[in-house]
């Protein structure tokens, strides 16, 4: 189709669900006569706001390429009728909307879905219902189908993400629908609270969070969907549907970012779906959640890193057009045999590279061990990261004070307006006495690390429960120390969701999942591992009492000991790539 063709925009088009509720959509379609495939996205953030409807792709350009593009408000949000029940409502509503879209007079009967974050979930949930018309999807920066912790990691609440989503994404329309008195004044108060959200994150117990308590109509929603991990309903519903419908076998193009809060879930989606059929693709940029620019955090990765100019050859919109052309305008059962399904951005050298699989088969899992003279704090500079297992036993000690937690600084965060995400210089934090720092000697050769990363930690604590955080860092010759990826483990959940017995001062082995990265540590750079016990407010702080700050104000200090040596060989496992 000629991209100079005009399009028609139909606004507030109703779609009737099986229970009679009407959901409303804006539709962009070619002006010329004919039948066209449909691309659908369903979002809770207002289809009429370009920051969401045009966030990272151009729906007008897609329509001009011969598609009907439908952007719909989900149930209970903005123009659509009904009550908003996050995530759980998107199974049947997704199915009904796909069927409706396929039956439009100008539709050719084939439907694809696209969107990021929540509107990545809406694709997966609709796909699980297996509507016949749904032919392919393009989920970006979204959750994993087998995981239920929407704002949790390893049983630990991602506090800033949960509270920000509640106050910034949910409240506007929710208060208006509830018919609160003086809506404008209420919203002005919400905006003031958002301006002070860093301060509000400090409040405990957070089950009585002040910005919610000010508006009593919000309390039931906050309690059900945030304090109770969505009431436990979503996990049960997901497991039920996976059991009933089997694994997804739908063609899917997965988009991820190394600094995205949904990185691991997106990678797991690819791995789980790729094992079924050869009809999956994956692209991973140096991006954070919802941001695909070339400058992320405090680092610039070069213009070719941008999702709007990928390698100078394509952009995210063209990726969508090419993907859906292949599946909705042609007849295929798999991607071309000569086409690599994976494309990753390798930081450090700042280059895109195609791969035949994820994780990479040529990975060499390489341990780096910690050792010290008993003072691994960066101020003392005795913490070392070495290639051979140490013989002599050693310990490093620090105090975790939950009333003075280590501040979050960079990483795959989901903070208000996307701030504080991505790579950031950690030197300032490393002056704290509650962070153990271990660093290699400057490298003489480049070392590429691409893949999943784990830390094996042997530690003891005098608290009944506590947390441990690990962070992988690239240290520049000038001393700047940029975070690559990180992870957290809670002692009582160290073996999964089942709670373990309280700690009694014994040495315990932990595994910390740092998710994944791709980075070349260049000659002159050093590899660094940090270990601490808080990363706040990204994660709720552990009060060290066996309770959580959700429902208690009581906090106590914990004396933490990091063990290393032959008996307790604490180490990080790096996926080293030999090219």
Q: What domains are there in the chain, each with its CATH number?
A: 7-149+233-355 (3.40.50.1820), 153-228 (no CATH), 363-538+552-577 (2.60.120.260)
Query: Average pLDDT, stretch 25-32?
Result: 97
Query: Average pLDDT, stretch 223-249?
Result: 74
Q: Where are the beta strands (DSSP E) in 360-491?
A: 363-371, 384-386, 394-400, 436-439, 447-461, 467-475, 481-490
What pLDDT, on the 0 to 100 scale, is given for residue 278?
83
Six-digit token string for 209: 């969070």
**Within its chain, how far is the Cα of 499 from the centroid?**
25
Residue of higher predicted confidence among 277 and 356? 356
> Catalytic residue at 117?
yes
- Residue 459 pLDDT > 50, yes or no? yes
Query: Average pLDDT, stretch 245-252?
Result: 85
What pLDDT, on the 0 to 100 scale, is given for residue 146?
65
Contacts of 554 (CB under 8 A, 6+ apart): 543, 545, 547
Report whether 440 contacts 528 (CB < 8 A): yes
Enumerate long-range contacts of 311-315, CB under 8 Å, 24 or more apart. Answer: 311/352
- Residue 296 pLDDT > 70, yes or no? yes
Rounded CA-CA distance 295/88 in Å is 35
What is the share, in percent, of the chain residues with pLDDT greater than 90? 79
Query: Average pLDDT, stretch 368-373?
Result: 97
Looking at the chain, the number of H-run helices and the number of E-run strands are 13, 25
Q: Which residues pair with 43 in a beta bridge?
A: 73
Six-digit token string for 398: 């620090």
What pLDDT, on the 0 to 100 scale, is given for residue 55?
81
- Residue 300 pLDDT > 80, yes or no? yes
Q: What is the pLDDT of residues 307-354, one digit of tens each?
A: 999 999 999 999 999 999 999 998 887 888 788 999 999 999 999 999
What pLDDT, on the 0 to 100 scale, is given for residue 487?
97
Residue of higher predicted confidence among 499 and 286? 286
Q: Which of 117, 461, 526, 534 is catalytic?
A: 117
What pLDDT, on the 0 to 100 scale, is given for residue 496?
84
- What 8-state DSSP symbol labels residue 214? T
Six-digit token string for 516: 């994944």
What pLDDT, on the 0 to 100 scale, is given for residue 148?
47
Measured at the alpha carbon of residue 56, what is the angle toward residues 53 and 58, in degrees to the nearest 5?
65
Q: In Å, what is the CA distance from 330 to each residue of 104, 133, 135, 333, 431? A: 20, 15, 11, 10, 58
- Residue 236 pLDDT > 90, yes or no? no
Exposure string for 539-556, b = 16+ CB within 10 A, e = fewer: bbbbbbbbbbbbeeeebe
Please name the helix (run of DSSP H) or strand (run of DSSP E) that holds residue 190, with its range, or none.
helix 183-195
> Catalytic residue at 260?
yes
Give the three-state DSSP class for 290.
coil
Query: Average pLDDT, stretch 272-289?
Result: 90
Q: Which of 73, 168, 260, 465 is catalytic?
A: 260
Six-digit token string for 154: 């390893």
Query: Average pLDDT, stretch 359-374?
Result: 97
Q: What is the pLDDT of residues 399-448, one digit of tens each?
A: 999 999 999 999 999 998 888 999 999 999 999 999 999 999 999 999 99
- Residue 149 pLDDT > 70, yes or no? no
User: How crowded is residue 424: how many other Cβ atoms within 10 Å of its Cβ?
Assistant: 22
Measured at the alpha carbon of residue 578, what is the angle toward residues 576 and 579, in degrees to the nearest 5?
135
What pLDDT, on the 0 to 100 scale, is given for residue 147?
60
Least confident interval from 282-291, 376-385, 420-429, 555-564: 376-385
> Where does residue 60 fall: left (phi above 0), alpha (psi -120 to 50 degrees), or beta otherwise?
alpha
Phi, psi angles (nearest 5°) of residue 272:
-70, -40
The torsion angle over the Cα atoms of residues 50, 53, 54 and 60, rounded to 10 degrees, is -110
Is the Cα torsion angle 355, 360, 364, 368 positive or negative in sign?
A: positive
Q: Which of 254, 289, 400, 409 is catalytic?
A: 289
- Residue 3 pLDDT > 60, yes or no? no
Give the three-state DSSP class for 130.
coil
Q: What is the pLDDT of residues 500-545, one digit of tens each?
A: 999 999 999 999 999 999 999 999 999 999 999 999 999 999 999 9
- Residue 224 pLDDT > 90, yes or no? no
Query: Average pLDDT, stretch 359-386?
Result: 92
Query: Average pLDDT, stretch 98-120?
Result: 96
- Please give the mean pLDDT across all residues of the chain: 93
How far the first Cα of the chain sits from its last, in Å, is 42
What pLDDT, on the 0 to 100 scale, is given for residue 4?
63
Contacts of 185 (CB under 8 A, 6+ apart): none
Enumerate long-range contacts of 215-220, CB under 8 Å, 24 or more apart. Answer: 215/171, 215/175, 215/180, 215/186, 215/189, 215/190, 217/174, 217/175, 217/178, 217/180, 218/166, 218/171, 218/174, 218/175
Rounded CA-CA distance 366/425 in Å is 25
């Amino acid at each position: 189709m000629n991209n100079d063709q005009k399009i028609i925009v139909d606004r507030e088009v109703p779609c009737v669900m099986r229970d009679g509720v009407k959901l409303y959509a804006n539709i962009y379609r070619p002006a010329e006569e004919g039948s066209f495939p449909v691309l659908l996205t369903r979002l809770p953030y207002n289809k009429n706001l370009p920051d969401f409807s045009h966030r990272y792709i151009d729906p007008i350009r897609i329509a001009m390429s011969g598609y009907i593009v439908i952007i719909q408000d989900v149930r209970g949000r903005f123009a659509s009728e009904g009550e908003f029940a996050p995530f759980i409502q998107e199974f049947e509503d997704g199915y009904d909307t796909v069927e409706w879209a396929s039956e439009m007079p100008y539709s050719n009967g084939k439907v694809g879905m696209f969107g990021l974050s929540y509107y990545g979930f809406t694709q997966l949930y609709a796909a699980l219902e297996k509507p016949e018309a749904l032919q392919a999807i393009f989920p970006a920066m979204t959750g994993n189908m087998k995981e239920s912790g929407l704002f949790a990691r390893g049983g630990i609440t991602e506090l800033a993400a949960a509270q920000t989503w509640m106050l910034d994404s949910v409240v506007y329309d929710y208060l208006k629908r509830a018919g609160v008195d003086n809506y404008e004044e209420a919203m002005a108060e919400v905006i003031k609270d958002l301006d002070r959200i860093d301060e509000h994150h400090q409040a405990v117990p957070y089950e009585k969070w002040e910005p919610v308590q000010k508006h009593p109509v919000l309390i039931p929603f906050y309690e059900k969907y945030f304090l109770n991990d969505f009431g436990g309903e979503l996990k049960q519903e997901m497991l039920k549907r996976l059991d009933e419908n089997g694994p997804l076998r739908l063609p899917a193009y997965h988009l991820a970012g190394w600094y995205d809060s949904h990185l691991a879930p997106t990678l797991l989606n690819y791995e789980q779906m790729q094992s079924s059929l050869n009809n999956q693709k994956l692209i991973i940029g140096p991006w954070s959640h919802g941001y695909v620019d070339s400058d992320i955090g405090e680092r610039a990765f070069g213009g070719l890193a941008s999702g709007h100019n990928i390698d100078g050859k394509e952009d995210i919109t063209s990726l969508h057009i090419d993907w859906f052309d292949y599946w909705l305008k042609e007849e295929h059962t798999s991607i071309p045999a000569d086409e690599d399904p994976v494309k990753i951005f390798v930081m450090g050298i700042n280059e895109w590279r195609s791969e035949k699989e994820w994780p990479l088969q040529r990975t060499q899992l390489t341990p780096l061990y910690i050792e010290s003279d008993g003072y691994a704090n960066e101020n003392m500079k005795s913490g070392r990261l070495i290639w051979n297992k140490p013989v002599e036993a050693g310990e490093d000690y620090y105090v975790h004070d939950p009333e003075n937690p280590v501040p979050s600084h960079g990483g795959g965060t989901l903070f208000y307006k996307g701030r504080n995400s991505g790579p950031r210089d950690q030197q300032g934090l490393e002056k704290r006495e509650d962070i153990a720092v271990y660093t290699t000697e400057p490298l003489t050769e480049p070392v590429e690390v691409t893949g999943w990363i784990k830390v094996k930690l042997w530690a003891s604590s005098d608290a009944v429960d506590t947390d441990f955080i690990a962070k992988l860092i690239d240290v520049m010759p000038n001393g700047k120390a940029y975070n690559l990826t990180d992870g957290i483990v809670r002692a009582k959940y160290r073996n999964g969701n089942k709670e373990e017995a309280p700690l009694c001062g014994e040495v315990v082995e932990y595994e910390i999942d740092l998710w994944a990265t791709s980075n070349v540590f260049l000659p002159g750079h050093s590899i660094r591992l940090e270990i601490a016990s808080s990363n706040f407010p990204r994660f709720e702080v552990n009060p060290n009492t066996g309770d959580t700050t959700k429902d208690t104000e009581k906090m106590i200090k914990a004396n933490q000991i990091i063990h290393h040596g032959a008996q307790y060989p604490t180490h990080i496992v790096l996926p080293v790539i030999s090219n």
